[in-house]
């Protein structure tokens, strides 16, 4: 199954700053998923990437999947306190493999 490594493990930024979170896979990714989790809550789906070189944006969050489909990045522009939480990348294999997650990146945005 996939093994996913996220970096950094935690990140503290000042409001208004840009930031990037990375997710690297041990295998070629079939589907790469980004989720956000706030303390004590469930996972909120952000974006799904499937094609090499794909890039998707929603509001101030952009996710990219590299051409080799082994690395994804999540970029937040002009961060706000509402962006704070734990960001998790998940991936499944060739359609029938289970969805596994990285250990998460804890983001703190100071006003």
Partner 1 sequence: GAGVSQSPSNKVTEKGKDVELRCDPISGHTALYWYRQSLGQGLEFLIYFQGNSAPDKSGLPSDRFSAERTGGSVSTLTIQRTQQEDSAVYLCASSSYYNGYTFGSGTRLTVV
Nearer to partner 1, 13 or 43 (CB): 43
Selection from 88, 66, 74 nearest residue 21 by Cα: 74
Question: Binding marks (x or -) toward partner 1, 25..54, rule CB under 8 A?
Answer: ------x-x-x----xxxx-x--x------
CA-derived radius of gyration, the chain? 13
CA dist 33 and 57 (Å) reads 13
Nearer to partner 1, 18 or 38 (CB): 38
Question: Among 16, 80, 103, 110, which residue interacts with partner 1 (rule: CB under 8 A)?
Answer: 103
| Residues 36 and 47: beta-carbon distance below 8 Å | no
Question: Among 7, 12, 53, 99, which residue interacts with partner 1 (rule: CB under 8 A)?
Answer: 99
| Residues 77 and 18: beta-carbon distance below 8 Å | yes
For partner 1, the binding residues (CB under 8 A) are: 31, 33, 35, 40-43, 45, 48, 88, 90, 95-96, 98-104
């Amino acid at each position: 199954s996939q093994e996913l490594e996220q970096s950094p493990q935690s990140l503290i930024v000042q409001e208004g700053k840009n930031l990037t979170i990375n997710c690297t896979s041990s295998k070629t990714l079939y589907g790469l998923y980004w989720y956000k989790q706030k303390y004590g809550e469930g996972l909120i789906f952000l974006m799904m990437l499937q094609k090499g070189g794909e890039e998707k944006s929603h509001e101030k969050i952009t996710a990219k999947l590299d051409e080799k489909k082994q690395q994804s990045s999540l970029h937040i522009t002009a961060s706000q306190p509402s962006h704070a939480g734990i960001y998790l990348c998940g991936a499944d294999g060739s359609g029938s493999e289970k969805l596994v997650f990285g250990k998460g990146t804890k983001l703190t945005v100071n006003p």
